[in-house]
Amino acid sequence: MPEPAAEPRQTPTIDPAHVLQRATQLHQRGRLAEAEGLYQEVLHSDPRSFEALHNAGLIRLQSGDYGAAIRLIQRALAVNPQSVEAYNNLGGALQALNRQEESLAYYQRALAINPNFADGHNNLGAALKALGRMEEALAAFERAVALAPDRAAFYRNLVDTRPVTADDPCLERMQRLAERMQRMNEEGQTQLHFALAKAYSDIGQHERSFRHLVAGNALKRRNVAYDEGNTLGAFARTRRVFTPELMQAKSGMGHHSPLPVFILGMPRSGTTLVEQILASHPAVFGAGELLDFEALVNNLPGRFPDVAAGLQQTHLTQFGERYAKRLAAIAPAARRVTDKMPANFRFAGLIHLALPGARIIHTRRDPVDTCLSCFSILFMGSQPHTYNLGELGRYYRAYDRLMAHWRAVLPQGVMLEVQYEDLVGNLEGQARRMLAHCGLDWDPACLDFHKTERPIRTASALQVRVPIYRSSVRRWRPAEQTLFPLLDGLMTPRLDS
């Protein structure tokens, strides 16, 4: 007898509302990968679920995958074109890609729907500030503070955009808010400590300012992941891998584009100022802090720096071509394009091997001034080593040793070192050195760098909008006893041998 027909298999069904609720709970707890998987499960059954599209886009935004975030949020807006949060987050993704003008339009769309949306005014202010439109930025930050007077982050953005005076109403409001600090979450407390530190520094109460910096940094350090041994160990391995013999054996193998200029060094060492000076030259485009080089490093057939020993000419040429193609797409008419990602100092040897025609400018500044300036900033990006004085000192020492190594193994003429104090003291002389290093003729526009209009997203956005000043040289310092963890880290070998 014939076998009975098999029962048709039932396709499992899901309850999208239940899955979406679970995904949202996981998202709120920070379990992003699990939440994203559930959002995708919802979209499989309902591709027009606004919540799943928008929240999946938000996870991509939080993860730094800005292109995917933009695509998902745009799909969400096609479903619900009246979502204030979606317009705001789309603006945030575009701003992260330094597409400031485009981000403005989306923040303005959000505010057209809800003029009392405090986050929209705050983010609009950040985009305006990056574009150098300081009066408009201040008005936006003031509006955000007025709408949400308990949001410490809004005060920090405001005081970071203008000087604070002793009778400033903003300072008085922050002081009143500080009386209720213990009721705030740690993120709010951190923001308020950094805001008060900036305000007290402005009015000359430096000891009081530093106490807030210590408290704010301690809170921030509790909430960032930083593996000091792994980080400093990678610096040491890099020195061991990039030997003079390796540099000589692979010399000339890469892509010989004359386009790239890498400006690198420690944060707060003058990299933004150097880029602004160069970008004032008509043949130079300042691209800001690009993520492209590190992304290519992460796609190499092995872990950096160990992979470098096995790289063949094909690898290095393709690497250089891909990077140069990215720069050419950003500024097709430029003769030189600057990449001002400070952390590219880790890759200086690989930069030369992959791009022999590139020029490197290493900015240097007094070590204590550099570290104290880092300690005073609540960075937008990932700088986890800057929130503890001892860790900051040891990181600086390891960086300094790595730069000494690059100085020894790179061919003459590849890397120019610019001392911040010399640049401040002799702008024209140092600007001429930098242009000559880049193979460019002198142009007096470089002396009027503060007049150059271009997006700047770093913490130095305000400083490079004004003429050169010397107040950051030998800035106020706490007593040596207070600075002992930093000074000890700068002088004592620990993890970078």
Residues 155 and 262 in one domain: no
Is residue 72 one of the residues assigned to a domain?
no
Residues 363 and 423 in one domain: yes
Average pLDDT of the chain?
Answer: 91
The two three-digit tokens of residue 246, written as one number: 């390796």
Residues 255 and 210 in one domain: no
Residue 29: which pLDDT band, with cuts at 50, 70 and 90? Answer: confident
Q: Given this model, what pLDDT does residue 464 score? A: 46
Residue 10: which pLDDT band, with cuts at 50, 70 and 90? Answer: very low
pLDDT, tens digit, for every residue of 212-222? 999 999 999 99
Q: Given this model, what pLDDT does residue 1 score? A: 46
pLDDT, tens digit, for every residue of 263-293? 999 999 999 999 999 999 999 999 989 989 9
Is residue 103 one of the residues assigned to a domain?
no
Is residue 121 one of the residues assigned to a domain?
no
Average pLDDT (352-379) is 96
* Comparison of pLDDT for 484 and 148, the residue scoring more: 148
Residue 449: which pLDDT band, with cuts at 50, 70 and 90? Answer: confident
Q: Total domain count for the chain?
A: 2
Residue 77 has pLDDT above 50, yes or no: yes
Is residue 53 one of the residues assigned to a domain?
no
Q: Which domain holds residue 286?
A: 230-491
How many Cβ atoms are within 10 Å of 176's Cβ, its own excluded? 10
Residue 58 has pLDDT above 70, yes or no: yes
Residues 234 and 214 in one domain: no
Of 207, 223, 239, which marks where a domain is finished?
223
Helix (H) or strand (E) holding 100: helix 100-113
Is residue 407 one of the residues assigned to a domain?
yes
Residues 168 and 313 in one domain: no
Contact between 392 and 386 under an 8 Å Cβ cutoff? The reply is yes
Question: Any idea what DSSP says for residue 344?
Answer: G
Is residue 35 one of the residues assigned to a domain?
no
Q: Given this model, what pLDDT does residue 491 score? A: 87
Q: What share of the chain is helix, strand, coil (3-state, %, to 5)?
A: 60, 5, 35
Residue 456 has pLDDT above 60, yes or no: no
Q: Where are the alpha helices (DSSP H) in 131-185?
A: 134-147, 152-159, 169-178
Is residue 298 one of the residues assigned to a domain?
yes
Q: How many residues does the chain have?
A: 497
